[in-house]
Amino acid sequence: MSEQYEYVPHRLLHRRVRDIASGVEGELMAVINENVSDAPTEHWVELAYIRGASGLEFTTSAANVEPAE
């Protein structure tokens, strides 16, 4: 797997967000366009890194991020 990635600007960066897939809320720390393929063919996805209340970060698709209410 290629260790390639790039940071992507996001309007909710450093704001409180909710992962619609899990319902978990936290602060959006970064959005990264990352190659997640183990094969010779690259597969790029935009991953959102969210820091939850426990202080641990988790990832989800950037498309799953919405402002927390």
pLDDT > 90: percent of the chain? 75
- CA 56, 60, 63: angle at the middle one, nearest 5? 140
Is pLDDT above 90 for 33?
yes
Q: Is the pLDDT of residue 10 over 70?
A: yes
**pLDDT the model gives residue 51:** 98
Q: What digits encode the pLDDT tens for the residues 34-54?
A: 988 888 898 899 999 999 999
As a whole number, mean pLDDT of residues 4-32 equals: 95
